[in-house]
């Protein structure tokens, strides 16, 4: 995609800037581009290899080393060697608390900050900073191999990543000096690499099965008119090729009758066994027997035994496939294509099981550990304007809205809305002369904001003082293709404007989303009752306020008796409000309304006749 153009003013050649595609993986990361033959290609920086292990090591001075060289320190300096940082990206300490034993480095629980930090040496690093180190390495390799600056990239994330994780990925890119043009879902990228979705007339349903080093996910995608939509995802973020390695290690421990307790103390030997197990596993992808030794420990494994060892884990992934199908309300027969992603799908048994489950041979022609990066490069090419336009589409899992009177949730973008999307609504002030308006943004399905998840809050300041109800405040929600929300508030009469991008500090797990949805159903009845009470109350309060202001302003048009009777009605309404009885509030509000209606008409008449008088003076 490198185009050469000539600058007519200077006569010099200008090479058009390359946009790379990056697969920022849990286990391995890689960078790809579209080569001059217009084919996607993974960048191999002169012998350093295609895959960059997603491992960062810090030495005593705090210098970072990334990739294979850093991986060696997993054995010699585990406390300062950080792996699987993707699991922590955009996550709060709470999210990972149960899994801390799977990390050999220290994760910090900082009360003031809900996002996790990692300690290496005497420094603290955020997952964003650590991911940025990996991205910097990829950028440097690409620049070295292509001999040109690389400043723009498309980065992939799992389809189940929430706003906060996507934003964190974007921030990591920025920190690495990359302009992140788009965050793309990994299954979408993998499909693109197979050419699925590139034909705008194509209509297909695709299952993408991704078994990596430590994570598994399956996504059901639909492609229509070049638009990708994620219908459902499922998986297990703690299931992958590492589990295969572990089960082999256990098998060897038993076969060699090793003392497990003593071994647990010997982290060096454990790590060597683990690496040998991975070697065996990979070998068994193309041969039937593995037979080696570590000292006097026999590391023997045949293919059939290996398949027995991993059968339960593979069955678990097929269960997730079943669930994903159910969630998308599709049957196996309705899936047109199956795509294999992730290094662990190189295991023939995995491939065979997936083929059997879906009843068709899956796409496996492209290296499964490269396919996401290659697809990202194609997406980068599309964004560079080198291909006919293709949209990528996702749906938002929970409704987005703002808090209105009495703590009610007013939904602006409903759940399951396709992104990118835009929606807005007009609001006004409730008090005369109100100059500020607080805008609180929430996510969730409950009627009361306090039951939903707060994303952000800001003040629209500087609204010119006007009577209540006169200002027109437009609130617009824009959810972009990356799933990042921009909220804009603008007062139309004055043009006062305020805008924020939302980067929620907490990660939202699939479990949380599910719980929020279930809660909204189980509480539907009480929520409705509460909403009606709150609405009655707001209306009643507003009416009492308006009536009081009316007497203050226009008392001269009323008789003393009318004034005192109005006050009695207001008092009755206030008492009903204090009791929080919906029906009584509505009744008293009605009575007050009825009683004061003629007054309002009278004032109007006077106003109209004085306006007429005004006219006659003009003559
Ligand atoms: P991630 O997406 O999590 O970064 P990858 O897609 O790179 O991970 O997959 C890494 C996993 O693939 C590791 O567990 C690795 O052992 C496994 N793997 C790599 N090559 C093979 C192979 N030939 N056979 C079986 N497993 C393999
Ligand atoms: Mg991956």
Query: Do 214 and 283 reside in the same domain of the chain?
Result: yes
> For residue 310, what pLDDT is reported?
98
Same domain, 241 and 320: yes
Query: Residue 395 domain-assigned?
Result: no
Report yes or no on 324 lying in a domain: yes
Q: How many domains does the chain have?
A: 4
C-alpha 119/C-alpha 137 separation (Å) is: 21
CA of 91 to the centre of ligand 2 (A): 19
Confirm whether 187 is domain-assigned: yes
Is residue 186 annotated as a catalytic residue, yes or no? yes
Tens-digit pLDDT profile for residues 247-284: 999 999 999 999 988 888 887 888 889 999 999 999 99
What the block records as the tokens of 203 is: 């209509």
- What pLDDT does 478 receive? 87
In a domain, 561, yes or no: yes
* Residue 593, strand partner residues: none
For residue 549, what is the domain's CATH number? 1.20.1270.10
Using 50, 70 and 90 to split pLDDT, how confident is the model at 2?
very low
For the cut 50, the answer to whether the pLDDT of residue 142 exceeds it is: yes
109 is catalytic: no
Q: Residue of the nearest CA to atom 19 in ligand 1?
A: 343
Residue 514 CA to residue 500 CA, distance in Å, equals 27
- Contact of 392 with 184, CB cutoff 8 Å: yes
For a mutational test of ligand 1's pocket, the pick from 169, 344, 375, i.e. the residue with the most ligand atoms closer than 8 A to its C-beta, is: 344
Same structural domain, 105 and 116: yes
Catalytic choice (45, 129, 163, 210): 210
- For the cut 50, the answer to whether the pLDDT of residue 392 exceeds it is no
The answer to whether residues 491 and 351 belong to one domain is no
Indicate the residue among 447, 478, 512 that finishes a domain: 512
Q: List, for residues 398-413, the tens digit of each pLDDT value.
A: 789 999 888 889 999 8
| Average confidence score pLDDT of the chain | 86
Whether 11 maps to a domain, the answer reads: no
Are residue 156 and residue 27 in the same domain, yes or no? yes
Q: Return phi, psi of residue 396, to 5°.
A: -85, 130
| For residue 588, pLDDT beyond 70 | yes
210 is annotated as an active-site residue: yes
Of the residues 71, 86, 281, 582, which is catalytic? 86
Tokens of 151: 């400043």
Under the banding of pLDDT at 50, 70 and 90, the label for residue 333 is: very high
Give the atom of ligand 1 at the shortest distance from the alpha carbon of 284.
Answer: 24
Ranges 188-197, 509-518, 519-528, 559-568: which has the least confidence:
509-518
Q: Assess if residue 14 is contained within a domain.
A: no
pLDDT at 109: 63
CA distance 143 to 137: 10
Q: What mean pLDDT do residues 421-449 have? A: 88
Q: Residue 318 belongs to what domain range?
A: 199-365
Residues with CB under 6 A from ligand 1: 25-28, 212-215, 240-242, 278, 281-282, 285, 342-344, 346-347, 369
Report residue 240 as tokens. Answer: 């992958």
Atom index in ligand 1 nearest the CA of residue 368 equals 6
Shared domain for 121 and 224, answered yes or no, is: no
Structure confidence by residue, pLDDT tens digits, 215-256: 999 999 998 767 788 889 999 988 999 999 999 999 999 999
Which residue, of 512, 537, 552, is where some domain finishes?
512
My answer on whether 135 and 265 are in the same domain is no
In angstroms, the CA 461 to CA 108 distance is 38
The answer to whether residue 54 sits within a structural domain is yes
CATH code (residue 425): 2.60.34.10
Residue 297 has pLDDT above 90, yes or no: yes
- Whether the predicted pLDDT of 617 surpasses 70: no
Q: Give, as one character, the DSSP assignment of residue 124.
A: E
Positive or negative torsion for Cα 598, 604, 609, 613: positive
Length of the chain as a residue count: 619
Q: What is the pLDDT of residue 90?
A: 81
Residue 401 alpha carbon to ligand 2 centre in Å: 33
Confidence band of 614 (pLDDT split at 50, 70, 90): very low
Cα–Cα distance for residue pair 30/342, rounded to 1 Å? 12
Three-class SS string for 43-105? CCCCCCCCCEECEEEECCCCCEEECHHHHCHHHHCHHHEEECHHHHCCCEHHHHHHHHHHCCC
CATH code of 70's domain: 3.30.420.40
Asked if the structure places residue 2 within a domain, the reply is no
- Judged against a pLDDT cut of 50, whether residue 11 lies above it is answered with no
Domain shared by 327 and 468, yes or no: no
Report the distance separating Cα 269 and Cα 174, nearest Å: 40
For the cut 90, the answer to whether the pLDDT of residue 612 exceeds it is no
Q: Is 243 a catalytic residue?
A: no
Residue recorded with tokens 């409730």: 430
**Residues 117 and 30 placed together within one structural domain of the fold:** yes
Nearest ligand to residue 215 Cα: 1
DSSP-based three-state secondary structure for 550: helix
Choice among 95, 186, 217, 370 that is catalytic: 186
Residues 62 and 77 in one domain: yes
Q: Which atom of ligand 1 is nearest to the CA of 240?
A: 14
Q: Do both 539 and 450 map to the same domain?
A: no
Give the domain-ending residue among 447, 480, 512. Answer: 512
> Considering the chain, what percentage of its residues have pLDDT values greater than 70?
87
Q: What is the pLDDT of residue 16?
A: 62
DSSP string, 583-607: HHHHHHHHHHHHHHHHHHHHHHHHH
pLDDT by residue (tens digit) across 355-369?
A: 999 999 999 999 999
Q: What pLDDT, in 10s, does the model give residues 502-546?
A: 754 345 566 666 677 677 777 777 777 888 888 888 888 888 988
The total of other beta-carbon atoms located within 10 Å of residue 501's CB is 12
* Better-predicted residue by pLDDT, 64 or 76: 64
Q: Indicate whether 336 and 467 sit together in one domain.
A: no
Predicted local distance difference test score (pLDDT) of residue 14: 42
């Amino acid at each position: 995609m490198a185009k050469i153009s000539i600058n007519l003013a200077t006569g010099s050649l200008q090479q058009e800037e390359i946009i790379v595609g990056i697969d920022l993986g849990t286990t391995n990361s890689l960078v790809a581009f579209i080569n001059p033959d217009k084919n996607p290609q993974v960048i191999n920086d002169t012998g350093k290899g295609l895959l960059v292990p997603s491992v960062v090591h810090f030495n005593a001075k705090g210098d970072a080393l990334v990739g294979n060289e850093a991986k060696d320190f997993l054995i010699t300096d585990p406390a300062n060697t950080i792996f699987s940082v993707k699991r922590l990206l955009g996550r709060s300490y709470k999210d990972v608390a149960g899994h801390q034993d799977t990390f050999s480095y220290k994760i910090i629980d900082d009360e003031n900050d809900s996002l996790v930090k990692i300690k290496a040496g005497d420094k603290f690093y955020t997952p964003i900073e650590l991911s940025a180190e990996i991205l910097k390495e990829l950028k440097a390799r690409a620049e070295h191999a292509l001999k040109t600056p690389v400043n723009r990239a498309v980065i992939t994330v799992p389809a189940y990543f929430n706003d906060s994780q996507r934003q964190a990925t974007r921030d990591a890119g920025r920190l690495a000096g990359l302009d992140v043009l788009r965050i793309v879902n990994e299954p979408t990228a993998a499909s693109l690499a197979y050419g699925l979705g590139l034909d705008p007339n194509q209509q297909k349903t695709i299952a993408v099965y991704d078994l990596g080093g430590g994570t598994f996910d399956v996504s059901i995608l639909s492609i229509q008119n070049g638009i990708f939509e994620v219908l459902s995802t499922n998986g297990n973020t703690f299931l992958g090729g590492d589990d295969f390695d572990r089960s082999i290690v256990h098998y060897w421990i038993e076969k060699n009758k090793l003392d497990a307790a003593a071994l647990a103390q010997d982290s060096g030997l454990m790590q060597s066994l683990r690496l040998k197990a991975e070697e065996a596993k990979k070998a068994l992808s193309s041969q039937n027997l593995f037979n080696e030794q570590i000292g006097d420990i026999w590391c023997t494994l045949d293919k059939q035994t290996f398949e027995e060892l991993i059968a339960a884990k593979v069955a678990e992934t097929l269960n997730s496939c079943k669930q994903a199908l159910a969630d998308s309300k599709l049957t196996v027969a309705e899936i047109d294509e199956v795509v294999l992603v992730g290094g662990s799908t190189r295991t023939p048994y995995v491939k065979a099981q997936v083929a059997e489950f879906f009843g068709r041979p899956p796409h496996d022609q492209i290296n499964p550990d490269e396919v996401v990066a290659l697809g990202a490069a194609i997406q980068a090419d599309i964004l560079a304007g080198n291909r006919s336009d293709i949209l990528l589409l996702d749906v938002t899992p929970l409704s987005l809205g703002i808090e209105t009177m009495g703590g009610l949730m007013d939904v602006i973008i409903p759940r399951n809305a396709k992104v990118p999307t835009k929606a807005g609504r007009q609001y006004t002030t409730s008090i005369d002369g109100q100059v500020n308006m607080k805008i609180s943004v929430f996510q969730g399905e409950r009627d009361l904001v306090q039951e939903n998840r707060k994303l952000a809050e800001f003040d629209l300041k500087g609204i010119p003082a006007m009577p209540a109800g006169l200002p027109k405040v437009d609130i617009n929600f824009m959810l972009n293709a990356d799933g990042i929300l921009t909220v804009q508030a603008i007062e139309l009469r004055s043009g006062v404007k305020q805008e924020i991008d939302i980067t929620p500090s907490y990660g939202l797990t699939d479990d949380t989303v599910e719980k929020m949805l279930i809660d909204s159903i189980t509480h539907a009845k009480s929520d409705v009752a509460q909403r009606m009470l709150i609405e009655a109350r707001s209306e009643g309060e507003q009416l009492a306020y308006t009536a009081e202001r009316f007497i203050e302003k226009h008392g001269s048009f009323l008789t003393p008796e009318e004034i005192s009777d109005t006050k009695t009605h207001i008092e009755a309404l206030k008492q009903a409000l204090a009791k929080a009885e919906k029906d009584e509030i509505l009744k008293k509000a009605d009575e007050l309304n009825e009683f004061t209606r003629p007054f309002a008409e009278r004032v109007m008449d006077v106003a109209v006749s004085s306006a007429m008088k005004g006219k006659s003076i003009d003559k």
